[in-house]
């Protein structure tokens, strides 16, 4: 097999990159270890920055997002029994759209199929070869048969557990990591919305987040021990915890419903540098992980893809390699900005077991500051909607 760009991973980064390259007349093949049904049904958060929604719209895959996604112009910070609103649009001129990641993937898969793009699912035994030469290739098995895909460039969009990052010699990259001593317990609930906008709650019992997936399905999270199991949490215990953390002293409360999914996710920050070795480039979770507090994961992947698309387009159209050479440095500027914001949000909103009573009061003081100072609220809003220049 032969193509111009070989892409490993059919997540948001890989599929969007393939589609954007197609729109520019550049061929690609996408290889994915999971099945199509699995990637389209794995429910993950989906808070999209306006820059992300704009790019999806420009790429022709934003129709369903516009009709089914929920545009939010702000969010609420709940602490000390009260809720205070951050006016994203009023402070920045931008908004966010709540549209689940698996719905984005459905749209991208449909677009690639409609364009006769090659996306191979259920691929196994994937390995990279010759990435430090001008003739890289990807070897893999598909439908029980071995294959080798020859290409000009290989793009690793296969997440933190994929083969791409580990194909860069350990001596040539530097990894930065922070593992948090807590996780998020997530539930999906059949219920009407508890609020028209997201609620981020800081409570002495721990963090909580309330968001909307649809008019009848809500997504809620609360801070937990990452070693917990879902079997330890009955529905009654879950609702008691959410009410304690989110309900306000002014009568606002979490709306209960039928819980039909429970899961626990760990929390970490991670950046691997460099994001390029020879003809291999990393994008999305293959290069960086952020705690979900700042809603940056999918948006960072899209930002990587935007930069990489421009770099590959300039190579194939003009023979330029300067944007490819600077891809890693360019992408990392935004990545580190988003990492800092996500870390700051996480530290401010979560119960920290190692925090003294003095430090706990500093958290409250920080929240008071960002909800009463226009300058502080603007800085927070700019980071949240992705309007910070880098």
Please report how the helices 374-385 and 327-349 are oriented relative to each other, as an axis angle in degrees rounded to 10.
130
Q: How many other C-beta atoms can be found within 10 angstroms of the C-beta atom of residue 265?
A: 15
DSSP β-bridge partners for residue 32:
none
Per residue in 121-159, is it b (16+ CB within 10 Å) or e — as a string? bebeebebeebeeeebbbebebeeeebebebbbbbbbbb
DSSP β-bridge partners for residue 86:
75
Token readout for 372 is 């009463």
Which of 46, 44, 66 minimizes the C-alpha distance to 54?
Answer: 66
Which of 94, 97, 92 minimizes the C-alpha distance to 107?
Answer: 97
Contact 310, 164 (CB under 8 A): no
Q: How many other C-beta atoms can be found within 10 angstroms of the C-beta atom of residue 66?
A: 13
Contact 32, 120 (CB under 8 A): yes
The string of DSSP codes covering 163-220 is STGGGS-GGG-EEEEEEEEEEEEEEEEES--S-SS-EEE--TT--EEEEESSSSEEEE
How far is residue 129's CA from residue 359's CA, in Å, rounded to a whole number?
50
Active-site residue list: 72, 200, 292, 296, 384
Contact 17, 7 (CB under 8 A): yes
How far is residue 380's CA from residue 340's CA, in Å, rounded to a whole number?
12
* 8-state DSSP, 284: G
- Plot region of 73 (φ>0 → left; ψ -120 to 50 → alpha; else → beta): alpha
């Amino acid at each position: 097999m032969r193509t111009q760009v070989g892409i490993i991973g059919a997540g948001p980064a890989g599929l969007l990159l393939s589609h954007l390259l197609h729109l520019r007349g550049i061929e690609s093949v996408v290889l994915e270890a999971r099945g199509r049904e699995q990637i389209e049904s794995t429910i993950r958060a989906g808070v999209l920055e306006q820059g992300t929604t704009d790019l999806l719209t420009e790429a022709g895959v934003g129709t369903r997002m516009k009709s089914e996604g929920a545009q939010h112009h702000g969010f609420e910070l709940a602490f000390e029994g009260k809720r205070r609103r951050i006016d994203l649009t009023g402070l920045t001129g931008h908004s966010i759209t709540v549209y689940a990641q698996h719905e984005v993937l459905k749209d991208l898969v449909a677009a690639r199929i409609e364009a006769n793009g090659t996306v191979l699912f259920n691929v196994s035994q994937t390995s990279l070869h010759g990435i430090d030469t001008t003739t890289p290739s990807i070897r893999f098995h598909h439908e029980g048969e071995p294959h080798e895909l020859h290409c000009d460039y290989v793009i690793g969009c296969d997440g933190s557990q994929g083969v791409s990052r580990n194909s860069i010699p350990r001596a040539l990259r530097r990894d930065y990591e922070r593992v948090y001593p807590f996780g998020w317990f997530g539930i999906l609930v059949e219920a009407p919305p508890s609020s028209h906008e997201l609620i981020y709650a800081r409570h002495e019992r721990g963090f909580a987040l309330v968001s909307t997936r649809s008019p009848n399905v809500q997504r809620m999270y609360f801070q937990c021990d990452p070693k917990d199991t879902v079997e330890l949490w009955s529905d009654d215990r879950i609702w008691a915890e959410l009410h304690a953390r989110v309900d306000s002293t002014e009568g606002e409360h979490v709306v209960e419903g039928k819980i039909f999914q429970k899961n626990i996710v760990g929390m970490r920050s991670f950046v691997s540098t460099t994001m390029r070795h020879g003809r291999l480039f990393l994008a999305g979770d293959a290069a960086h992980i952020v705690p979900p507090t700042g809603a940056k994961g999918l948006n960072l992947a899209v930002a990587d893809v935007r930069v990489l698309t421009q770099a590959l387009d300039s190579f194939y159209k003009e023979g330029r390699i300067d944007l490819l050479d600077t891809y890693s440095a360019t992408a990392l500027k935004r990545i580190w900005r988003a990492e800092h914001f996500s870390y700051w949000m996480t530290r401010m909103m979560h119960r920290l077991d190692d925090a003294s009573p003095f430090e706990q009061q500093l958290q409250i003081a920080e929240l008071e500051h960002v909800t009463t100072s226009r300058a502080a609220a603007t800085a927070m809003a700019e980071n949240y909607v992705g309007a910070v220049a880098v």
